[in-house]
């Protein structure tokens, strides 16, 4: 069984945001699979997807703090500056975290750990809505 669908995520401010419910709500067919994989690709180069702690808003705020220090705006080595100070750091952050997630499906549910949730990592000041391609394969 194969299924592919675009998911449009509402715009978020710069930072790390939990979108597990928003993503799963768009994929009701997932519940029909005994075993399978869900693949998500974000179709942008300045936002990314991650899987991490879903209980504490502090954790997501600390992600933003660390990434802003590790990939600073206004550094003298940036040459691609035309699209704003937040643009080139956003590309680096997006590559570090990656544009996609592949997640196991078991008995109709995502087989994640207790504390794992899907993050939309918005690295631009005004990224706007973000588009995902979700691809599901598996066995009913």
92 binds a second copy (CB under 8 A): yes
87-97 and 57-70 helices, crossing angle to 10°: 120
In the complex, the smallest distance separating the C-beta of residue 30 from a second copy, rounded to whole angstroms, is 14
Interacting span for a second copy (CB under 8 A) from 7-15, 24-32, 76-84? 76-84
Q: What gap in Å lies between CA 7 and CA 3, rounded to an integer?
A: 13
Say which residues have a Cβ less than 8 Å from residue 102's Cβ, sequence separation at least 6.
37, 38, 39, 40
Contacts to a second copy by CB under 8 A:
2-4, 34-37, 39, 41-45, 50-53, 56, 58-59, 61-63, 65-66, 69-71, 75, 77-80, 88, 91-92, 94-104, 106, 111-116, 119, 131, 133, 135, 137-139
């Amino acid at each position: 069984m194969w299924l592919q669908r675009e998911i449009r995520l509402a715009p978020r401010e710069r930072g790390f945001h939990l979108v597990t419910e928003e993503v799963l709500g768009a994929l009701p067919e997932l519940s029909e699979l005994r075993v399978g994989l869900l693949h998500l690709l974000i179709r942008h180069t300045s936002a990314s997807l991650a899987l991490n702690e879903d209980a504490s808003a502090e954790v997501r705020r600390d992600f933003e703090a660390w990434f802003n220090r590790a990939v600073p705006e206004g550094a003298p080595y940036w040459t691609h500056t035309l699209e704003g100070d937040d643009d080139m750091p956003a590309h680096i952050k997006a590559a570090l975290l990656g544009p996609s997630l592949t997640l196991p499906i078991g008995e109709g549910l995502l087989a994640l750990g207790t504390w794992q949730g899907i993050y939309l990592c918005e690295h631009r000041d005004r990224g706007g809505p973000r588009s995902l391609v979700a691809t599901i394969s598996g066995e009913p």
